[in-house]
Structure 1
Amino acid sequence: MKQILQSFKTGITELADLPSPKVKPGQVLIQTTRSLVSLGTERMLVEFGKASLIQKARQQPDKVKMVLDKIKTEGLMPTIETVFNKLEQPLPLGYCNVGKVVAVGREVTDFKVGDRVASNGQHAEFVSIPQNLVAHVPDNISDEEAAFTVIGSIGLQGIRLINPTMGETIVVIGLGLIGLLSAEMLVANGCKVIGYDLDDNKVEIAKEKGIIAFNPLKGNDPVKFVLENTNNIGADGVLITASAKSNDIISQAAQMSRKRGRITLVGVIGLDISRAEFYEKELSFQVSCSYGPGRYDDDYEFKGIDYPLPFVRWTEKRNFETVLQLISSGKIKVANLISEIVPLDEFDKIYGEIGSSKSIASIIKYNENTKLENTIVVNKKELKSLKGVIGLIGAGNFTKMTLLPALKGTGAQIKHIVSSGGVNGTALARKHNITQSTTDYDLVLDDKDVDLVMITTRHNLHAKMVTKALDKGKHVFVEKPLALNHEELEAIEETYKNNNGTLMIGFNRRFSPHTEKIKSLVGNAPMNIVATMNAGAIPSDVWVHDMQVGGGRIIGEACHYLDLMVYLTGSKIKTVCMNALGENPAENTDNASILVKMENGSSGVVNYFANGSKSYSKERLEVFSQEKTLIMDNFIKTSGYGTKGFSKLKTKLDKGHKTQFGLILEEIKKGSIALIPYDELINVTKASFAAIQSLKEAKWVDVE
């Protein structure tokens, strides 16, 4: 299929060939017929992409601070590589999509194949969209008209926050597409609407819709104009849909408001607010969040959990339906806002001139005869050998930033890369000379050429994919964790017994030269280990914290150091006890300490903390044994005390990834990737489960 992508690195907007997405549970697969270009939002993205690195940095000072912190802890070159890898990730454009349903995922109840729908899908021939972000299109609305659904909902949500009543005067600042739609909805609501914009064409369109509209450049002072048209009372509400960097607009909005007036921001403006202007009138100010309640809530958007209507009357989906109802009833007219309808193949007629475009709304028209294709060939090449051919499932940050760079120069033969949407996988296939990009991981498992499957997806998919791959006779590398609970682990163990494939988890830190040096100096003698991960805070709504999806950070990340203890002591974990910060420690696995007792009597502590400074080393390991002390700092420096003949090892940041993957490629040619004994992989996984159980039960828990 074809999809419009934006490069943040080069600024190029392209029409890319990608594999079509597969429908996911809770989602509908839509074949697009029309999509609307949001010129304001998409212009900002295109212009950001075209900006120089210095200009990009000036626009994102918070990101600059993160980069500087990363340089302090990991060094200049690894940080530069990370930044450029981020910039290389293509961005799909668009969020106003209309089409017909061609497939329905499990658990979808509101839609069937053949339904005509509007959604927040991108500019792509096929999109898979959660059902709470899709709405039925009434029969009397054309596809072009229905394309205004989502962008209309952005304005509608701003109106709902202002909460206008019939007869009130509402000012709309900025008569672009969202502004014009918002103003017309306010008129339909029985309000007196005043609007202004610097474009005469938009002002004339607004006047035709019953709006008192003017251009400030023609001599009208906005504040005086509003006061004159409200008998010097001022506006009851001000809706800001403009885009500007100055603080003039927020100041004007305050000055033209009546006492206790309401101001809502939908656009993007400078927000250096004058306290006096707001204080004297007791003004209310609120920023509107996109399409409405439910936006950016994974439970609502991706898990399909709706907000009860009696308690949350208007959600983003209900706002979609309201806009469609208004168009259907003729309360708002959108056909006269369409400036152009352009075939998808001629997309550059819109994006090539987007910086200077005077269009109100540009519509993209799609070929309705396009067929679904879940796989595309990116690089035509023949496999050098049928040993060690890789199928890579997952194209997220770990694959992009760690796995593929570590495989560079090793001669690895990657035949497939799988990604859910096809965008990231195809971009990585181009860069790393991978043969095919696909959205169908079953294709990889059924390919007889592939003997090594590497899984780097979200954690909740690991166990299912591991068992399926083993059942197909594949050798499997899975980035940690192996599983999220005992049931998943038992299924893997049963499958492993009945198949010939070998298994490896991405416990890379045991392959670091720093770990290997420590191991050579202490052997398997009894020891005490203190391992500290200064992991940094992750917002609570990120998927890693969801126990059903990410498994939490102990199971998902702290397992690295449980494995290190097994490796360094030469012994499996016998029992664990975990405690965490706060009055309700069972709810705070971000800041926890795990006491670990090994079968050979060695003892250790894993400190996993998210409340430390980012400028401090991210990882630290201290080993005490035989009157020797070894201290490893962030896999860059290891110092020895009481270690005759050794005082210091210093390298660039090396967590062992390259060595680990190099060994896997060597071993797979021999028919195995069992670099870590299978019983140790299972022991560490069970120990991570035991740590969580220990925290809940406040006691030591034996590892089975």
Structure 2
Amino acid sequence: MKQVLLDLQSGEIQVEEVPAPLARRALVVENRYSLISAGTETALINLAKKSLVGKAKDRPDDVRKVLAKVTTDGPFSAYQQAMSRLAKPEPLGYSSAGVVRETGVDDFEVGDRVACGGAGYAVHAEYVAVPKNLCVAVPDGVSLQEAAFTTVGAIAMQGVRNAQVGLGETVAVIGLGLIGVLTVQILKAAGCRVIGIDIDPEKLALARDLGADMTTNYDGVLEKLQSLSPFGADAVIITAATKSNAPIEAAGHLVRDRGRVAVVGNVGMNVPRDIFYEKEAEVVVSRSYGLGRYDRNYEERGIDYPIYVRWTERRNMEAFLELVRAKKVTLDRLITHEFDLADAPGAYGMIAGGREKYLGVLLKYSPNGNGSRPAGSVTFMEPETGTRVKKPAAVQNLGCIGAGVHALSSLYPNLPQLPVTLRGLATATGLSAHSVAKKYGFAYCTTDYRKILEDPETPAVLIATRNDMHAPMVVEALEAGKRVFVEKPLATTPEELRMVADAWKASEGDVMVGFNRRHSPLSRRMKAFFANRSSPMVIHYRVNAGEIPADHWVHDEEQGGGMLISECCHFIDYMQYMTGARPTLVFARGIEPTGVVSKYDNFQAMFSFADGSIGTVTYTTLGDRAYSKETVEVFCSGAVGRIVDFRDLRLTRDGKAETEKRWFSQEKGFVEELHAFARGEGFNFTESAATTLATFRAWESIEAGRPVAVDTASLGL
């Protein structure tokens, strides 16, 4: 299928052939129309066109994150991670309408006409996969052309709701672009008197034609408003888009005593305190298009709010379409341009050029005519694309599944160095699959990972998806006879671990888990330093992770498993590697949780090992990210080894210290572990299973408040 892509490094708009999406827990919709959001999309395009310095000035928070990375990871690693984010094209669009071609939910059937919303979902593409709470049925009497405005209409609806307007109230709307004129019509449908404010005479005339009681520019606006309402506006809704502070200042003068100001557009927000203080006016920033926005349970999983949480995203979308059906909101005069999908670069060029007046700009899609989802879930890459290099004839082919942040920053940049031929790449979205496959020279890409497992020319797979998908995919890969490299954690529940262990025992394939730190050259040197030890080891592994947002997917019970399961496995494996012995007992204790601070993100876990060694993991999110993240210390046989952030090694014995320092980047072992996998080395599933089981037993220990045995025999290993 074809999709509109933005190159984040150059700002160029392209229409590319990418794999079609799969339904999973969503709908696959064949788009007929999608609406270009001139303000939001143009701002992103303009940012992409800027130099690295310009991007940094516009995104100071991101710069601070990069600088913190430089402190702990080194400048090269930080730069590599930052550039990997820019290398991935960005999907554009968030409001479309079309026909359901495949469904993974109960609410819709194939053939239904639907309006779709959501950045990353209702994009400018021939086919989109959209969760059910971001789709609504299009009523009879509403065209798909009109329905493509639904998400933008819901933004206007939410702005009106945040203004808390009542029947007969006077409302000023500042900014009469697309959302502004929709807001005017919605307010009139709600029984309000409306004054529209803009500097463009044509927009003022259009707003009058669409029902505004009065329109004006900023000249004498306060006097004109008083002729409509002597006490001022009951509410002001700002739908302008400007860096200027003028709209919020004007709103302060226009709003009545104890009135309400709802900010919908992206405007300057230096609120003049004296004006708002004197009136004790309320200011609220309207968030997108309804309750549920940015809530993963609502948007991704389709878990709805009870009806007393009245106006969710989906209900706002439905309400807007009902106003269109009842002809209380008319859209025909708002559609100023239509472009075929293939001419999308021309549409954005028209918007950027400023030579033509525009309001509603639609992209139009030609129906495929067969009434079904396209078979093209696999896209074969052109031979000349990517960075493919010649490989020795005897090496294996490799398929990859997943292309998230970790894969793109730490794993995939090393692929060109491996003695493998890259076959297929599977990711959840066609855009991601296409862009990464093109960059690294995969033979084909797909949104269906089973295409990789079914490929007879792919004996080995690399799995780098979200955590909850690891164990099921490993089982499927083993059943397909593949050799598997899977990112940690191997499993997120004991039941999943048992399932993987059973599949491993029954399969001719093998599994290597991405415990990269044991492959670091610094780790190898420290292990060699203790090679002739005469006593057990005492190990302390301290991790200063820094604050992790409560809504990060790693905390999701299904997708992540929390930091104890997701990350602590690294450090248990490291101690197992250093001691050469399996963990036998764990006693863990978390802090008493307060607010958003989790005991599973802030804990100490002490492990006993079969050779008599002991090791403690201290993991916390309460420290400063600018401080070193990881420090491991090993005490044994009158000697001490220490590694800080895998950049600084110090080995001390008999009062003498040897040191090594990596100035520009970390040596965490990513490239070394991938080379080991490609060579058929580093496979030790039983150790990885023991590590994974130990994380679950640490969880149990925190819950029970007592030591818990790590019984690897329970896995039959």
- The equivalent position to 2:380 in structure 1, one of 363, 366, 377, is 377
How far 1:645 sits from its partner (Å)? Answer: 7.1
Tell me which residue corresponds to 2:649: 638
1:581 correspondence with 2:588:
no
Letter in 1 for 2:466: R
- Ranges in structure 2 where 5+ consecutive residues have no aligned partner: 385-389, 712-717
**Cα distance, 1:447 vs. partner?**
0.6
Q: Which residue of 2 aligns with 1:284?
A: 282
Match of 1:13 in 2: 13
Supply the distance in 2 between the matched residues of 1:459 and 1:165 (Cα, whole angstroms). 48
> In the aligned structure 1, how far is the partner of 2:438 from the partner of 2:600?
39
Cα distance in structure 2, aligned partners of 1:569 and 1:699: 24
Give the letter for the 1:422 counterpart.
G
Please state if 1:2 is matched with 2:25: no
The equivalent residue for 1:572 is: 582
1:472 deviates by 0.5
Alignment partner of 2:474 out of 463, 466, 475? 466
- Identify which of 384, 402, 410 aligns with 2:418: 410
Give the whole-Å Cα distance in 2 for the aligned partners of 1:289 and 1:643.
63
Q: 1:583 to 1:313 in 2, by over 3 A?
A: closer
Determine if contact 2:391/2:420 at 8 Å carries over to the other structure: no
CA deviation profile, 1:37-91 (whole Å, cap 9, x unmatched): 1111111111111122222111111111112111122222222222211111211
Partner SS for 2:173? strand
Q: CA deviation at 1:583?
A: 4.8
Please show how residues 330-369 of structure 1 align to structure 2 within 5 Å.
330-355=327-352, 356=354, 358-369=357-368
The yes-or-no answer on 1:655 pairing with 2:668 is yes
Determine if the alignment matches structure 1 residue 48 to structure 2 residue 47. Answer: yes
AA aligned to 2:123 is Q
Matched, 1:191 2:199: no
Q: Secondary structure at the match of 2:179?
A: helix
Specify the SS of the correspondent of 2:623.
coil
Aligned mates of 1:691, 1:80 — CA distance in 2: 35
Unaligned runs of 5+ in 1: 668-672
Relative distance call for 1:78 and 1:221 in structure 2 (3 A) is: farther
CA shift digits 1:370-407 (9 cap, x unpaired): 73410101133898647421110001112211111122
Give 1:222 deviation, angstroms. 3.2
Q: Within 1, Cα distance between the matches of 2:399 and 2:362?
A: 39
Distance 2:507 2:547 in 1: 40
Q: Is the 8 A contact 2:475 2:503 kept in 1?
A: yes
Instruction: Classify the secondary structure of the residue corresponding to 1:408.
Output: helix
Q: Flag the 1:88–1:227 CA change in 2: closer, same or farther, 3 A.
A: farther
Instruction: Give the match's secondary structure for 1:36.
Output: strand
2:35–2:361: 8 Å Cα contact kept in structure 1? yes
Q: Which residue of 2 aligns with 1:324?
A: 321
Residues in 1 aligned to 2:683 and 2:571: alpha-carbon distance in whole angstroms:
15
Give the Å deviation of 1:646.
5.4
* Cα distance between partner residues in 1 of 2:63 and 2:222: 38
Residue identity in the other structure for 1:511:
H
Secondary structure (helix, strand or coil) at the match of 2:503 reads helix
2:622 maps to what in 1?
611
Q: Does residue 1:180 correspond to 2:191, yes or no?
A: no
Partner of 1:670: none
Cα distance in 2 for residues equivalent to 1:163 and 1:128:
34
Whole-angstrom distance in 2 between the partners of 1:606 and 1:644: 27
Of stretches 112-121 and 384-393 in structure 1, the one that deviates more from structure 2 is: 384-393
Q: Is the 8 A contact 1:386 1:449 kept in 2?
A: no
- Check whether the contact 1:144–1:335 (CA below 8 A) recurs between aligned residues: no
| Whole-Å separation in 1 of the counterparts to 2:683 and 2:591 | 33
User: Which residue matches 2:545?
Assistant: 535
Q: What are the superposed Cα offsets for residues 104-147 of structure 1, whole Å, 9 maximum, x if unpaired?
A: 11xx2210000000001111100111001100001211111111
Cα drift, residue 640 of structure 1: 1.7
Picking from 672, 686, 702, the partner of 1:695 is 702
* Normalised TM-score (structure 2): 0.94
Aligned amino acid, residue 269 of structure 2: L
CA contact (8 A) 1:199 1:215 kept: no
Distance 1:461 1:386 in 2: 31
The SS at the match of 1:353 is helix
What is the count of residue pairs matched by the alignment? 691
Q: How does 1:417-436 map to 2 (within 5 A)?
A: 417-436=425-444
CA contact (8 A) 2:207 2:215 kept: no
Query: Partners in 2 of 1:692 and 1:292 — Cα distance?
Result: 37
**Counterparts of 1:131 and 1:268, CA distance in 2:** 28
Q: Residues of 1 paired with 2:69 and 2:143: CA distance? A: 51
The equivalent of 2:387 in structure 1 is: none
Aligned amino acid, residue 154 of structure 2: S
Displacement, 1:584?
6.5
1:548 CA drift (Å): 1.8
Distance apart, 1:223 and its partner CA: 3.3
Counterpart residue type for residue 331 of structure 1: K
> 2:715: which partner in 1?
none
Shift of 1:677: 2.2
Deviations, residues 145-164 of structure 1 (Å, cap 9, x unaligned): 11111100001001011111
Residues 531 and 622 in structure 1, CA contact (< 8 A), matched pair in contact too: yes
Q: How does 1:131-142 map to 2 (within 5 A)?
A: 131-142=132-143
**Residue 677 of structure 2 corresponds to residue 664 of structure 1:** yes
Q: Which residue of 2 aligns with 1:494?
A: 502
Q: Deviations over 1:236-278 (max 9, x none)?
A: 0000111111222111101111000000111111111122111
The structural deviation recorded for 1:643 is 5.8
Contact persistence 2:392–2:419 (CA under 8 A): no
Displacement after TM superposition at 1:644 (Å): 7.6
Per the alignment, residue 594 of structure 1 pairs with: 605
| Structure 1 position 641, deviation (Å) | 1.9
CA RMSD of aligned residues (A): 1.7
Instruction: Report the counterpart of residue 253 of structure 1 in structure 2.
Output: 251
Instruction: Write the distance in 1 (CA, Å) between the matches of 2:541 and 2:187.
Output: 60
Deviates further, 384-393 or 503-512: 384-393
Residue 686 of structure 1: CA displacement? Answer: 0.2
- Write the letter of the residue equivalent to 2:474: V
CA distance in 2, matches of 1:252, 1:480: 54
Does the CA contact (< 8 Å) of 2:225 and 2:232 recur in 1?
yes
SS in 2 for 1:194: strand
Counterpart of 1:295, as a letter, is R
Residues 391 and 419 in structure 2, CA contact (< 8 A), matched pair in contact too: no
Aligned-partner Cα distance in 2 for 1:164–1:385: 72
Q: Distance in 1 between matches of 2:526 and 2:656?
A: 13
SS in structure 2 opposite 1:352? Answer: helix
Residue type matched to 2:339 in 1?
Answer: V
1:40-439 matched pairs, under 5 angstroms: 40-105=39-104, 108-120=105-117, 121-216=122-217, 220-231=219-230, 233-309=231-307, 311-355=308-352, 356=354, 358-369=357-368, 371-380=374-383, 385=393, 387-439=395-447
Alignment partner of 1:680 out of 684, 687, 690: 687
For residues 610 and 287 of structure 1, the distance between their equivalents in structure 2, rounded to whole angstroms, comes to 30
CA–CA separation in structure 2 for the residues paired with 1:661 and 1:645: 35
Q: Which residue of 2 aligns with 1:24?
A: 24
Whether the aligned pair in 2 keeps the contact of 1:132 and 1:317 (CA below 8 Å) is yes
How far apart, in 2, do the equivalents of 1:690 and 1:681 lie? 14
SS, match of residue 555 in structure 1: helix
**Residues of 2 paired with 1:427 and 1:583: CA distance?**
42
Equivalent AA in structure 2 for residue 246 of structure 1: S
**Equivalents in 2 of 1:164, 1:516: separation in Å?**
68
**For the structure 1 residues 545 and 571, does the alpha-carbon distance in structure 2 shift closer, same or farther, using more than 3 Å as the test?**
same
* Per-residue deviation, residues 559-614 of structure 1 (Å, max 9, x unmatched): 10000000001110011111112257994211111111111111111111111111
Please tell me the residue identity of whatever aligns with 2:175: G
Q: Counterpart amino acid of 1:202?
A: K
- SS of the aligned residue for 1:98 comes to strand
User: Is residue 515 from structure 1 mapped to residue 512 from structure 2 by the alignment?
Assistant: no
